[in-house]
Each structure stands twice: as structure tokens, then as C-alpha cells.
Structure 1
């Protein structure tokens, strides 16, 4: 189900007056309050009902209905303009910040043909065949990292398992020595705060420090791989050619940071969201325990109900009509993935968690030219984790209500305390 954003409907959706004021209040709650971050879904629902395409008092446009979000993400006129977006958000001196310079240089912020060129040079590491070849090694890591949790009878599943697992997978693929990978965790998380709608000066300072640390680390590691190549992604990228094209030193540095940053935070959130969703829906946990063929659809349902990324940012490169409203060029437009995934016009009974739901066309990995490159690896990690959790433990109980990090875009918990019962 998609809509043609190039066609203007005869009757644009109404907005303004009380609805416009209410929509602004909803956006403020989502972005600025702890309550909004803890449970944004009722706010998404109301915004979708009264103003599915909303020009907020904060200056950005928010798109919250499934058809509109899907069409918008596939529309080449909704692209990326990093200098414009970052300049509007952070001011004219934004390039004084290491984190913002990296953000602007990232492949994630490029448009075709430059985006296509960089993506083609990287995508070979994430082909279905390459990901399938990693299944055995990832399964081994899952078991190895579950062992301490099993021995202790529980613990912080998020920080002791859901974080180190995807970090180990992606850094091993890239070529980061195992003993050095943990040091990248906090600097990378600090940098990723730049993607949030609302970021404080203190968070930006932390992001700059994180960017400087990881830039220095990968500069040294790339130099080592140039001198002594190995069978890893960094060495392959150094030698990569596509129609005679090679990555520059700066492009290679930025890609290393991008691959690690994108490769662990989203998987961490997916795994922890999965355990919490099954705990809160014991009838659905019983279903998947009794029928292990439901493992993959259960993971897809977690991704739909509790996506690891709630918002994606775009810039209107031209005047564009979305959902009957004309968005002028050079506007910041927010695709509300988590809202779209619960649109009742597309997903029947959308707030119900159903491990057997057959329609897996959620938007949690995005859509269009910027569709998540590593989606198959993230899905493999979550599928294998759920299968092994069910095999190793007869019961997984969340013992404390989780608190969420003060972020809107990459919504995730601070910790997830569990008690497990071994078979």
C-alpha cells in the first residue's frame, strides 16, 4: 500500500486551529518529556489521527501515517542535505564540532549518485550469502555470551548480553581485535546522540569527544591494515574497486565508524525489546515456545511493535506533496517509523503483539535507497538469540520496569534486569 506523492488530492487534509495546537503539544511531549520517551505510542496514535502530516511549531514537518511514510522514504525528492539540516539545527559554526563534521560526511547523509557509489563499495559485506556464512559463528557467540547469565541465574540482559553480542559481531566483521572492541562502545554511543531531534550542549560535547576517540582509533587501525592486510572488511575496503573507483582515506574512515555505529545500537535495542515484549505478553511467549517455526515472525513483530529507531530525518530537495499537504523545498521532514508501524489502516489491531502476524512489511529498516544495508545481519542476530533463549531457559522474567535513555530517535532502555531459569 503506497501513495503517489507527486499527485495532489482534491481535498487536502485539514489542519490548524485547535488541531494544530494539540498536535504541537503532542510533539512537545514526545520530544521533551520523560513520559513521552517512556511510552510514546498513545501520542503517536493521536498525532496520526488529527495531523498525519504536521508542520510543527518547532519548524520541522512530521509524517506519521504508514502510506505517507512509506511513499516519502521512497521519493528521491526527499533526500539528504547535511549542511542545510545540520546548519539549521546547530547553527552556522556546526563544522567546529568533530561529531557534526563526521555526521555530514557519512554515507547515511549522501544522495545518489554519491550514496549509490559508496553503498556499492560496502554492500558486498552484507550480501545474503555472506550473512548466511556467518550463522554458525554468530550462534557460537550467542551461546558464549549467554553462559554468564545462565550461571548467575539472571542479570542485566541488555548491558551484559544484548550490547556486547552485536558489538562483537560487527567489529569482528570489520576487523577490530576482540579485546579492543569494548572500548568503542561508549564513544560510539556518545556520537550517536547527534541523530536525536533534541540534543543538549552537554550531549553535543560528549558526541564530539566520542567522534574524536573513534576517528583516532580507526585512523590507526586502517594504517595497520594497509601495512598488514587481513581477511576482514577493512582490508577488503582498502582494496575495493567498483568500476575503477576506490574509497578515499576520509571515506574509509567514515565508513568504519558508520558500520560499527549502525551495526550494534539497533541490534541491542531489538534484542532487549524482544525480551521485554515476550515478558509482557506471556500468551505469545507460550505460542513461540510451543511452535519454534514462529521465531522469525516473532522477531518481525518485535521490529514492528518496538522498532529500534523511531524516526528518520529527510530534507525536501524540491517542493513535495505528502498526504495532501505541500511541503516546500529545504524543509526538515521527520518520518515517524514507530507510528507508521502501528497504523490501523495498514496493520489490523496494531497495538496487539502477535508472534504469528504474517504481514512483515514494517518500516523499521527504512525504505528506498537508504534502506538499512545491514538489515539481514541484524535479523540473523535477533532470530538466533530468540531461538537460543527459548532452548536454554524455561523462564525469562523481567524483574524491574526498565527506564529509557533520554533519546527519541534511537529509543532504547538503560538496562534490562532479568531472572532466568535454566533447563
Structure 2
């Protein structure tokens, strides 16, 4: 970790940092526009111990190093106990959250990650390219016929859940019905969760447990050409049992659908809001790869990653004790002016290396190739075919901090330039 000498912030800076962080986490204004607050927090105290006892890191280098440091891991008991006292294990949603690979450490994480990595090899992902392109065309057709619509809910959500369902082995006709319980369960990642939201999340967790356990049983009886069937048939020295298989399916479907939806929503919105940048990609399709990376940097689908410290750390000269909880603000790190020139400018020609939107280290997102594949198909198609794409109503953001997204994004397609490349 970075160890340059830095004096602790004075009272004024401490107040400014507390105020900025409180606005990010709890105010409607902060949730709608967190980026100005990220800059304020970084300027006041780039390593900040909040009144909640958690340490917030906002600099790119500090966040990147923390993600790769073996002394920084995950202690779900410490994290959930800090949010819900000693009662958290009574809740089905929190028990399910604690049991996923997302909260595991080696050696258990190593075992589960090995299995997941087999699902997301470059070769396996590329085999889905034709399916992704076909689904983009199928889902886009109703929009073409109507001239537009809510592209967030009726396109950007349906594509990722269809793709990841096909990968895992969930029947296509059943996949859309998983959206509501998945979104209810995902609320467990938010710091400001209410008692009512937790009760709804518990119900969602129980529903998803039942669904995925039944799916595992179904695949044992009738295996198919999918990941779940392959995991059941795998000859492994330490195979996953039925309960672990159900949790794995839950995690892959939830992570692979919700975050990819936000990624696609954000990209479409950004290209519409920055028509000059969209035109650059139309004129030079080779820029699409950089444009996708810029969407991820400028407005990532996940803003905060939780971690815990197993041994004392020094970050910017400040000592963080063992057992401390961290908030790694990756969205703030992606706008760090020490790392990116003019970080608040959306620039599809930017060539300053990758953001950390997919994480880093052993907990980096295993599905990054699949997410990029979908972004390539969606952004490339929309930019090529609909040069007059426009937003018809102000986008409605979800009131979330860790996994922010849009409730709706209504667009007008405009004239179809066709499939001519």
C-alpha cells in the first residue's frame, strides 16, 4: 500500500469529508449526483474514517492496491454485524449473502473461483457471440416497430438475463420472472437498508433458494448443454453439493444480469448525452473498444466495494487497524485526477489504461468478458443504426448507492440507417 507521509485531516477537513460522505450515502441529491461529492471527499480526506467506523478510500492508487493486498479481504460477519447488530443471521437474505463466493476468502474462495472461472473462459464466452447478436436483434425489433420505448426495462434488462440464463441453464421463458426477487435481494448490498426492505429481501432469498434448488434437481434428472449440467457432471476432487450449486446459480444470475443492465443503460444514456462522442465512434468503429472502457470508467455499474482488514495497514501515512471495515469507492477512484486527465470529461478516445470498474485481485469480476461482449453488440448496433437516438423523458435513477442504476430510460430511436456497415 502507498505509505507516503500524510498528516491526519484537520477539524475543517474532517467535517467536509463527513458531510460529503453523508450526502453520498443518505441524501437524494448525493445519490443523483455522487461525483461532485466524491471529489469533495477525496480533496478533504482521501483516506477517511467515517463516524460509522468504516474507512473510505477514494484515490485510484489506494483503491487498486487495496483490492490486490492479501491483508485486505472479506469478513461478512464483521460487516453485517456492523450494520445489523447480532440479529443478522436470523434473516434469510443475509444468510444467503454470507454464503456466496462474493464474501469468501481463500481457501474456500479459491475452490469456488476455480469452478466459476471455467464458466467464463475466453473460448466459452466467445461461443455466445452469435446468441448475443441474435438476442439483440430480437429484442430490438419491438422498439423499431414502436419507434422507441423504455430501453432500460424492455431491452437492457432482458438481454443480460437472457444471456446469463442461457449460460447457466435457466430456461429462457423462466428467466424474466427472476428479476423482481433478484432486485429485492440485491438491496442487501445497500448501507441504508430499511426494515421493510430487509423483510422483502428475506422473502426474495427464500424464493430464489427454492427456485435454484429445484433447478439443480431438474438438471440432475435432465442434463443439458449448460454450465449447471457441466458442474453436476464434473469429476472434481471437491465438487459442489446441491446447496452450493444453488447458491452458485443465484450468484451468477444476479451478478450477471443486474450489473450488466446498469452498464448498458449507462452507455446508451452517455452516448445520447454526448452526441459528439457517439459520432466519433460511428465514423471510426475501431474506437468502440475504448468507448466501452470509457463508459465503465465514467459511470460504472458498481460504485462501492466492501472489504475488511486482517492486519494493520498504512495508507497515505495513516494507520488502519486490523479488523477495520473499508469502503472502496471505485467510482471515485475512476474519476481521480491524479490518474485520469480531465476525469469528468467523457472521452471515447481516452487511452490511459483500464478503470477498476470490474475490480482487481482475486475478487475481480469473472464475467467481464461476457459483459463487454454484450456492450459491443448493443452499443455498436445502436450507434450504427440509429444516429438520431434521443431521450424523451428525464432518466429516473434508482435510490441506491452501491448498485445505482435507472428505474427507466425512455428513448426515441429515430430513422433506422439499416445494417449497412
2:194 aligns to what?
200
1:395 pairs, out of 383, 388, 391, with: 388
Q: TM-score, normalised by structure 1?
A: 0.96
Matched ranges for 1:74-85 at <5 A: 74-85=68-79
Query: 2:16 touches 2:40 (CA, 8 Å); kept in 1?
Result: no
Determine if contact 2:91/2:202 at 8 Å carries over to the other structure: yes
Alignment match, 1:239: 233
The Cα shift of 1:58 comes to 1.8
Query: Which residue of the other structure, out of 359, 368, 375, is the alignment partner of 1:375?
Result: 368
Q: After TM superposition, give the deviation of residue 239 of structure 1 in Å.
A: 2.2
Instruction: Report the Cα offset of residue 123 of structure 1.
Output: 1.1
Length-normalised TM-score, structure 2: 0.97
Report the counterpart of residue 408 of structure 1 in structure 2. Answer: 401
Alpha-carbon displacement from aligned partner over 1:288-307 (angstroms, at most 9, x marks no partner): 11111111111110000000
Q: Offset at 1:343?
A: 0.5
Moved more, 73-82 or 12-21: 12-21
Between the aligned partners of 1:369 and 1:354, the Cα distance in structure 2 is: 30
Within-5 A mapping of 1:82-101: 82-101=76-95
SS of match in other structure, 1:91 = helix
Q: Give distance in 2, aligned partners of 1:13 and 1:283.
A: 43
Cα deviation digits, residues 104-123 of structure 1 (max 9, x gap): 10101001111011010121
Instruction: Tell me, yes or no, if structure 1 residue 161 matches structure 2 residue 155.
Output: yes
8 Å contact from structure 1 (residues 240, 247) kept in 2: no
Residue 361 of structure 1: CA displacement? Answer: 1.4
Structure 2: gaps (5+ residues):
none
Spell out the pairing of 1:116-131 with structure 2 (5 A cutoff): 116-131=110-125
Is 2:277 aligned against 1:311? Answer: no
CA distance, structure 1, for counterparts of residue 21 and residue 235 of structure 2: 45
Distance 2:104 2:316 in 1: 25
Aligned match of 1:350: 343
Matched with 1:71 is 65
- Aligned residue for 2:138? 144
Question: In 2, distance between residues paired with 1:25 and 1:204?
Answer: 27
SS of alignment partner, residue 335 of structure 1: strand
In structure 1, the partner of 2:15 is 21
- 1:316 and 1:13 map into 2 onto residues whose CA distance is 21
Higher mean C-alpha deviation, range 127-136 or range 315-324: 315-324
The answer on whether the counterparts of 1:72 and 1:322 sit within 8 Å (CA) in structure 2 is no
Structure 1: 5+ residue runs without aligned partners? none
Preserved contact between residue 100 and residue 248 of structure 2 (Cα < 8 Å): yes
Deviations 1:210-232 (A, max 9, x none): 11111110111100111121111
Q: Is contact 1:121-1:241 (8 Å) kept?
A: no
RMSD: 1.1
- CA distance in structure 2 between the aligned counterparts of 1:322 and 1:203, rounded to whole angstroms: 35
Looking at structure 1, the residues matched to 39 and 180 of structure 2 have their Cα atoms a distance apart, in angstroms, of 33
Report the 3-state secondary structure (helix = DSSP H, G, I; strand = E; otherwise coil) of the residue aligned with 1:146: helix
Distance 1:195 1:290, change over 3 A: same
Find out whether 1:299 has 2:286 as its counterpart. Answer: no
Is it true that 1:60 corresponds to 2:66 in the alignment?
no
Please give the per-residue CA displacement for 1:356-383, whole angstroms capped at 9, x wherever unaligned.
1112410000011100000110011011
Q: What is aligned with 2:184? A: 190
